[in-house]
């Protein structure tokens, strides 16, 4: 018996036994792995198939293009941000939310997301706009607004602070410092941003 031939066939045999949701999950996970390691430009359907231990045809049957695959991989992989923090003060709630957002940005799916944002051209980026907005931007802004509105009710925050400009301040700063300054946002950095930017901006006596 040719044992080497039998052994060589095992990964393909094992992969071919998976069906349906199990195989699709493996392919999506492999796509996120590719994005987080080699980036958008380095990702190939062949590489994803190899990572999922399946054939290229199995990938193309489900996703006819790289863009279709990556959109579903991001949609499935982005970590949920959870419930709105409620720690008793707007300062502590904002800090907890920032730490959560930072952890999502630097998770494996977060690296994959940033590879898409940084490497895609304009026409490609449009394909992922809804995924990014619905999966990350809108949930973050919704929670920020809830934290600020709760602070208004407690008298910690000026009444006119629950607006789009104020809510955009934290995501804009985090994205700018991450992309332009290569900041990884240690806990101390997040505390300083909240204490030096957001607390003065939100306090009732802010002018």
pLDDT digits over 12-54, tens only?
444 446 678 899 999 999 999 999 999 999 999 999 999 999 9
39, 85, 107, 187, 190 from 196: Cα distances, Å? 35, 20, 26, 14, 10
Q: Which has more confidence, 115 or 153?
A: 153
pLDDT at 122 over 70: yes
- Write down the mean pLDDT value for the chain: 86
Express as a percent the part of the chain with pLDDT over 90.
56
* pTM, entire model: 0.77
CATH of span 78-202: 1.10.357.10
pLDDT at 6 over 60: no
Here the contacts of 176-185 (C-beta below 8 Å, separation 24 or greater) are 178/105, 178/114, 179/114, 179/118, 184/106, 185/98, 185/102, 185/105, 185/106
pLDDT in tens, 187-198: 999 999 999 999
The secondary structure of 38-91 as a DSSP string is HHHHH--HHHHHHHTTS-HHHHHHH-SSHHHHHHHHHHHHSPP--SPP-SSSHH
Confidence of residue 131 (pLDDT cuts 50, 70, 90): confident
Contact 59, 52 (CB under 8 A): yes
Give the distance from CA 79 to its chain's centroid.
7
pLDDT at 105 over 90: no
pLDDT of residue 54: 95
Q: What is the mean pLDDT of residues 118-140?
A: 81
Express as a percent the part of the chain with pLDDT over 70.
90
Domain ranges of the chain: 3-65, 78-202
pLDDT in tens, 63-72: 999 999 999 9
pLDDT at 1 over 60: no
Instruction: Could you please state the CATH topology (level 3) that the domain comprising 3-65 is classified under.
Output: Arc Repressor Mutant, subunit A (1.10.10)
pLDDT at 155 over 90: yes
């Amino acid at each position: 018996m040719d044992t080497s031939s039998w052994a060589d066939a095992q990964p393909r045999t094992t992969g071919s036994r998976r069906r349906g949701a199990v195989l699709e999950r493996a392919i999506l996970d492999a796509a996120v792995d590719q994005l987080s390691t080699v980036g958008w430009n380095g990702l190939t359907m062949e590489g994803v198939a190899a990572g999922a231990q399946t054939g290229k045809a199995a990938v193309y049957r489900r996703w006819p293009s790289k863009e279709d695959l990556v959109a579903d991989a991001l949609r499935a992989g982005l970590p949920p941000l959870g419930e709105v923090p409620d720690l008793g003060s707007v300062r502590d709630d904002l800090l907890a939310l920032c730490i959560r957002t930072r952890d999502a940005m630097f998770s494996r799916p977060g690296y994959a997301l940033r590879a898409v944002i940084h490497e895609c051209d304009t026409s490609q980026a449009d394909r992922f706009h809804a995924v990014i907005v619905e999966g990350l931007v809108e949930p973050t802004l919704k929670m920020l607004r809830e934290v600020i509105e709760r602070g208004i009710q407690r008298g910690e925050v000026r009444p006119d602070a629950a607006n789009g400009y104020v809510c955009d301040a934290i995501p804009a700063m985090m994205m700018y410092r991450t992309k332009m300054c290569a900041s990884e946002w240690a806990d101390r950095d997040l505390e300083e941003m909240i204490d030096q930017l957001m607390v003065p901006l939100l306090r009732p006596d802010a002018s």
